[in-house]
Amino acid sequence: MASKEEKAAVHHDVLMVSFSAQGHINPLLKLGKRLVSKGLHVTLATTEVAQHRMFNSLAATTTTTTSSVSDIQLALFSDGFDMDYDRKANLDHYMETLGKVGPINLSKLIQQHYHDKQKKLCCIISNPFVPWVVDVAIEHGIACAMLWIQPCSLFAIYYRFYNNLNQFPTLEKPDLTVELPGLPILNTQDLPSFVLPSNPFASFPKLFIELFSNMKKYNWVLANSFLELEKEAIDSMSELCPIQPVGPLVPPSLLGQDHESVVDVGIQLWKPEDSCLEWLNNQADSSVIYVSFGSLTVLSAKEMEAIATALKNSKRPFLWVVKKPEFPTADKSGEIPQGFFEETEKQGLIVSWSPQTKVLAHPAIACFITHCGWNSMLETISAGVPVIAYPQWSDQPTNAKLVSDVFKIGSRLGTNEDGVVNSEEVEKCIEEIINCAKSEEYKKNAMELKLAAREAVAGGGSSDHDLETIPEEKADDSKELKEKRKKRKEEDYLCRGHILNALGHTVYNAYRNIGTAKELWTALDNKYRIEEASNQKFLIGNFMDYKMSDSKSIMTQVYELLNAISDLKVAGVNLDESFLVGVIISKLPSSWNGYKKKLKHDEKKHTLESIQRHLRIEEDSRIRESKDEQTDFMSKANVVEDGKSNNYLGPKNTNQFKNHHQNKKKNQKKIKGNCYYCQKPGHMA
């Protein structure tokens, strides 16, 4: 039996697993820092390329080494590619490969990192873009949580979309209005790009289908948000898939925790220009327009021109973050318009990267023109700064809708038919936010949410109570608490015993070492679902990866897709019929592009049955046209009128011609059968 000293030496570990992107890693690091403050040991696992590109650049700081960030340990696994491989070149291929090699390498990491009995891995926390992590957790009998890194409103949208609970825009109804519980009415321009028929990324729908069809595997769904910000959206999911908000996961300085004992934790791919803070110190309070579109967005030359013109015409001081394009283009995308720097040198400041949280917290900032990435939005809300929204893709359009219609802390820039803003619209929004009747309302709402964010993460706040640590025995525990803990252990022991007694010999040996009754039940439950889940993933992959070609009959390929759909239904995966029709249309080969466009713009809603009929008729028509063209060609090639050929230029009534013609006939064998063209005997066409 273990001594008290041995029990005390055992420490509980939380393993966080992240996709290797800055915006994914930082929320987990901030959550990890809060878990460390509650007495847990935290390790962050991500791919080796993250250390190569991100963490090594931080090694010179006092709280970061190549093996840890602040008090959080780092553990790395391979994503299956060399360090110099361009992972952005083909994101679909990268995500597919990571989904295959990631589980294998993460499982090896767990076995190597937690073989020591003094380390008890009690929980794994992953983010949404590595959905395979939950299967690894189940394999090792470990509880698993997911940290949702977008708004709870987005979780509600995706959950309902991928579980076919509500209607969404389709190829037949691209302008369908969406009404969901707890959310404002959403038009097409308000929805995340991944649920639209126009979504160009194949890997993300496949990833989200896998994620949202397996939500029951997670013990908890945590969210980087807070109850006071999204109460209606959070409440709307209480019966479907409860969400536990633990945010905002932002630097402590934005939450009023400026004392020296609190250290921020996070990574940045680019070194910020701190000189901009000195420039801000010389500006009046609430006077500066801050402009930044994150690390991924590259605006077109027209968009850059519109924003530059509006900033210049506003005659207000501005701080504009313009990151030099990684791959410069001929059309000058992402570049400052020529002459703008010289014209506004005394009005504003342009930097390649900024210390954003410090900038937003500065009293000189009046408003923030942003792409509405969720990390930036939470920082803005926590700083109490009004917003001008210019969303681009992914969750950003929905975030912009929340800003204007739910949070009511700003407005959204209007665009033309091509989705591009003009300078007049930017100028109008700047005036609306800073200097009109609505500006005071925006500031008031922003300040109220700023205070609510601080209260949420304070001791006993709405986001703090959801971070309960595993109860550990302490010498000064009350008698009542000790009795409760003792009773819980006894009940768990009995329940675990009943479960084990019901198992066969082979299964018993495999599961007898799993700790609690809940862990044992979860492991067994998932053991008998794992085959079904693996089959579902395999079938979904086959369906989404299927490619049509011109070398095979279209209807033959359609039947193969319909068989795949039938297999999915048998496996319990029921996808919306409009979505399936859209997928079939999108898979038509390039020679069918014209007909594909016709189907997409057809006002009539197609079913699987009707799309088969249309494609069959079209293919039959194409086959007939091809045969008619071939017959027409053969007819022209085989028409020869006796005695009227223009190929022979000599005299036809001379003896020379007669002798030549007679000799030719003698050498010819008599032709048997009929001509295949005119059906007359004695010759062939």
Closest CA relative to residue 154, chosen from 198, 124, 193: 193
Q: Are 300 and 331 in contact (CB under 8 A)?
A: yes
Is omega for the bond preceding 248 within 30 degrees of 0, making it cis? yes
Lowest-pLDDT range, 152-156, 236-240, 261-265, 467-471?
Answer: 467-471
Q: Are 599 and 627 in contact (CB under 8 A)?
A: no
- Asked if 31 and 61 sit in the same domain, the reply is yes
Whose tokens are 């530059």? That residue is 308
Task: Please indicate whether residue 471 or residue 80 has the higher confidence score (pLDDT).
Answer: 80
Q: What is the pLDDT of residue 150?
A: 96
Q: Is residue 397 part of a domain?
A: yes
Q: Which helix (H) or strand (E) holds 12?
A: strand 11-17
- Asked if 495 and 412 sit in the same domain, the reply is no
Q: What is the pLDDT of residue 169?
A: 94
Region 199-220 average pLDDT = 86
- Domain limits for position 92: 9-149
Residue 618 corresponds to which tokens in the numbers above?
A: 């079209």
Task: Please indicate whether residue 568 or residue 224 has the higher confidence score (pLDDT).
Answer: 224
Task: Give yes or no for residue 61 having a pLDDT over 50.
Answer: no
Q: Is residue 316 part of a domain?
A: yes
Show which of 617, 632, 647 is a domain's final residue.
Answer: 632
CA distance linking residue 558 with residue 584, whole number of Å = 7
Task: Give yes or no for residue 649 having a pLDDT over 50.
Answer: no
- Asked if 447 and 554 sit in the same domain, the reply is no
Task: Please indicate whether residue 381 or residue 8 has the higher confidence score (pLDDT).
Answer: 381
- Asked if 525 and 550 sit in the same domain, the reply is no
Q: In what order do the strands lie in the sheet with 244-245?
A: 64-65, 68-69, 72-77, 41-47, 11-17, 119-126, 143-148, 220-223, 244-245
Q: Per residue in 266-308, pLDDT tens?
A: 666 678 899 999 999 999 999 999 999 988 888 999 999 999 9
Length of the chain: 685
Q: What is the pLDDT of residue 534?
A: 62
Pairing outcome for strands 64-65 and 68-69:
antiparallel
Region 51-58 average pLDDT = 60
Q: Are 99 and 93 in contact (CB under 8 A)?
A: no
Q: What is the pLDDT of residue 659?
A: 54
Q: Is residue 681 part of a domain?
A: no
CA distances for 387 relative to 377, 401, 491, 595, 612, angstroms = 9, 12, 53, 44, 48
Task: Please indicate whether residue 83 or residue 645 has the higher confidence score (pLDDT).
Answer: 83
Q: What is the pLDDT of residue 87?
A: 78
Angle value at C-alpha 146, between 145 and 151, nearest 5 degrees: 140
Task: Give yes or no for residue 474 having a pLDDT over 70.
Answer: no
CA distance linking residue 175 with residue 188, whole number of Å = 6
Q: Are 25 and 51 in contact (CB under 8 A)?
A: no
Q: Is residue 222 part of a domain?
A: no
CA distance linking residue 187 with residue 179, whole number of Å = 9
- Asked if 416 and 505 sit in the same domain, the reply is no
Region 656-681 average pLDDT = 55
Task: Give yes or no for residue 531 having a pLDDT over 60.
Answer: no
pTM check: above 0.85? no
Task: Give yes or no for residue 638 having a pLDDT over 60.
Answer: no
Task: Please indicate whether residue 287 or residue 570 has the higher confidence score (pLDDT).
Answer: 287
Q: Per residue in 365-376, pLDDT tens?
A: 999 999 999 999
- Asked if 483 and 391 sit in the same domain, the reply is no
Lowest-pLDDT range, 41-45, 353-357, 510-514, 538-542?
Answer: 510-514
Cross-strand pairs, 311: none
459 HSE (CA, 13 A, CB side): 3
Q: Is residue 378 part of a domain?
A: yes
Pairing outcome for strands 72-77 and 68-69:
antiparallel
Task: Give yes or no for residue 424 having a pLDDT over 90.
Answer: yes
Alpha carbon 343 to chain centroid distance? 40
Whose tokens are 């780092």? That residue is 74
DSSP for residue 589: -
Q: Are 318 and 351 in contact (CB under 8 A)?
A: no
Q: Is residue 170 part of a domain?
A: no
Residue 44 corresponds to which tokens in the numbers above?
A: 């962050």
Q: Per residue in 159-198, pLDDT tens?
A: 999 999 999 999 999 999 999 999 999 999 999 999 998 8
Region 125-145 average pLDDT = 93
CA distance linking residue 568 with residue 430, whole number of Å = 51
Q: Is residue 155 part of a domain?
A: no
Lowest-pLDDT range, 219-223, 234-238, 531-535?
Answer: 531-535
Q: For the chain, what percent of residues have pLDDT higher than 90?
A: 45
Closest CA relative to residue 382, chosen from 354, 407, 400: 407
Report the CATH number at residue 73: 3.40.50.2000
- Rounded to 5 degrees, φ, ψ at 115 are -75, -20
Residue 499 corresponds to which tokens in the numbers above?
A: 């479960």
CA distance linking residue 173 with residue 577, whole number of Å = 13
Closest CA relative to residue 471, chosen from 516, 503, 439: 516
> Is the C-alpha dihedral spanning 458, 464, 465, 470 positive or negative?
negative
> Is the C-alpha dihedral spanning 664, 670, 676, 679 positive or negative?
positive
Q: What is the pLDDT of residue 494?
A: 84
CA distances for 495 relative to 141, 482, 491, angstroms = 17, 20, 6
Pairing outcome for strands 119-126 and 11-17:
parallel
Task: Give yes or no for residue 86 having a pLDDT over 70.
Answer: yes
Closest CA relative to residue 35, chosen from 71, 83, 80, 74: 71
Q: What is the pLDDT of residue 417?
A: 85
Give the count of domains, the chain: 4
Confidence label for 103 from pLDDT (cuts 50, 70 and 90): very high
Confidence label for 465 from pLDDT (cuts 50, 70 and 90): low
Cross-strand pairs, 146: 126, 221
Task: Give yes or no for residue 110 having a pLDDT over 70.
Answer: yes
Confidence label for 128 from pLDDT (cuts 50, 70 and 90): very high
- Asked if 281 and 134 sit in the same domain, the reply is no
Show which of 395, 424, 457 is a domain's final residue.
Answer: 457
- Rounded to 5 degrees, φ, ψ at 292 are -160, 140
CA distance linking residue 434 with residue 285, whole number of Å = 12
Measured between alpha carbons, how far apart are the two ends of the chain, in Å? 101
Task: Give yes or no for residue 381 having a pLDDT over 90.
Answer: yes
Task: Give yes or no for residue 653 having a pLDDT over 60.
Answer: no
Residue 325 corresponds to which tokens in the numbers above?
A: 């394009």
- Asked if 407 and 514 sit in the same domain, the reply is no
Q: What is the pLDDT of residue 395?
A: 95
Q: For the chain, what percent of residues have pLDDT higher than 70?
A: 80
Residue 485 corresponds to which tokens in the numbers above?
A: 């803990």
CA distance linking residue 233 with residue 577, whole number of Å = 27
Cross-strand pairs, 290: 319, 368
Q: Per residue in 238-259, pLDDT tens?
A: 888 999 999 999 999 899 875 4
- Asked if 428 and 279 sit in the same domain, the reply is yes
- Asked if 272 and 421 sit in the same domain, the reply is yes
Task: Give yes or no for residue 7 having a pLDDT over 50.
Answer: no
Task: Give yes or no for residue 533 having a pLDDT over 80.
Answer: no
Task: Please indicate whether residue 234 or residue 647 has the higher confidence score (pLDDT).
Answer: 234
Highest mean pLDDT among 192-196, 397-401, 591-595, 642-646: 397-401
**Can you state the percent helix, strand and coil of the chain, rounding each to 5?**
50, 10, 40
Q: What is the pLDDT of residue 454?
A: 96
Q: Is residue 126 part of a domain?
A: yes
- Asked if 347 and 437 sit in the same domain, the reply is yes
Residue 636 corresponds to which tokens in the numbers above?
A: 């022209």
Task: Please indicate whether residue 682 or residue 288 has the higher confidence score (pLDDT).
Answer: 288
Show which of 98, 128, 149 is a domain's final residue.
Answer: 149
The per-residue pLDDT of the chain, averaged, comes to 83
Q: What is the pLDDT of residue 532?
A: 62
Q: What is the pLDDT of residue 490?
A: 78
Lowest-pLDDT range, 76-85, 460-469, 480-489, 491-500?
Answer: 480-489
- Asked if 496 and 572 sit in the same domain, the reply is no
